[in-house]
Amino acid sequence: MRDFPNAAFSPEAIDVMKRAMESAVSHLPEPITSAHVNSSAESILRTAKEGERDPVMLERMALLELAITSREEV
């Protein structure tokens, strides 16, 4: 992943990010690509690095960013 070479998270934050990632991936439309998964993971990392710890918000931000990015590519 780019832009996260010095990121450090507590075990609790990692657990929150893991739950957010699992939920985000479960809500992705088929076919799920590695690009979608990577984009979601980067969004969750970036948002968590800014201090967000609510797994629902982390998931929403990831899905929203993915939707915006997908629209820009069309």
Summarised one tens digit per residue, pLDDT across range 17-64 is 999 999 999 998 888 999 999 999 999 999 999 999 999 999 999 999
**Would you state the pLDDT for residue 6?**
79
Domain boundaries along the sequence of the chain: 11-73
| Residue 9 pLDDT level (bands cut at 50, 70, 90) | very high
CA angle 51, 27, 8 (to 5 degrees): 25
Q: 3-state SS string over 24-61?
A: HHHCCCCCCCHHHHHHHHHHHHHHHHCCCCCHHHHHHH
Closest CA to 16 of 64, 69, 30, 47: 47
Q: What is the pTM of this model?
A: 0.87
